[in-house]
Copies of this chain bind each other. A is one copy, B any other.
Amino acid sequence: MKRVAILGSGVMGSALAFPLADNGYAVALCGTAFDRPIIARLRQDRWHPGLKREMPASVEPYAIEEVDRALAGASILILGVVSEAVGAMARLAAAHLAAGACIVNVAKGVEAEPDGKLRTLPELVSDALPGPRRSDTAVVAVAGPCKALELAARRPTRVVFAAAGPAALARCGQAFATDYYRVELSEDIRGVEICAAAKNGYAIGLGVCDGIDAGGEGSWDNLRAAVFTQAVAEMAGLARLFEGRAESAYGLAGLGDLFVTYRQGRNQTLGRLLGQGMAAGQALAEMRGATVEGVEAVRKIHIGLQGALSNPQLARDFPLLDAIHAVLFRGAPAGAISRSLAGAV
Chain A residues near B (Cβ < 8 Å)? 144-147, 149-151, 153, 155-158, 170, 173-174, 176-177, 181-185, 218-226, 228-230, 232-233, 236, 250-252, 255-257, 259-260, 263, 338, 341-345
In the complex, are the beta carbons of B345 and A174 less than 8 A apart? yes
For the complex, give the distance between the alpha carbons of A144 and B223 in Å.
11
**Are A225's CB and B259's CB within 8 A?**
yes
Extra inter-chain contacts (10) besides given A149-B218, A155-B220, A229-B255, CB under 8 Å: A144-B225, A150-B218, A150-B222, A156-B220, A156-B338, A157-B222, A158-B222, A181-B343, A225-B256, A233-B251
Which chain B residue has the least Cβ–Cβ distance from A184? B344
User: Are A345 and B229 CB-contacts (below 8 A) given A153-B218, A218-B153?
Assistant: no
- Chain B residue contacts of A229, Cβ below 8 A: 145, 158, 251-252, 255-256, 259
State the CA gap A221–B151 with chains docked (Å). Answer: 10
Q: Are A345 and B155 in contact (CB under 8 A)?
A: no
Sampled A-B contacts (15; CB under 8 Å): A144-B225, A149-B219, A150-B223, A170-B345, A173-B343, A173-B344, A182-B343, A183-B343, A183-B345, A185-B344, A225-B252, A228-B256, A229-B252, A229-B256, A236-B250
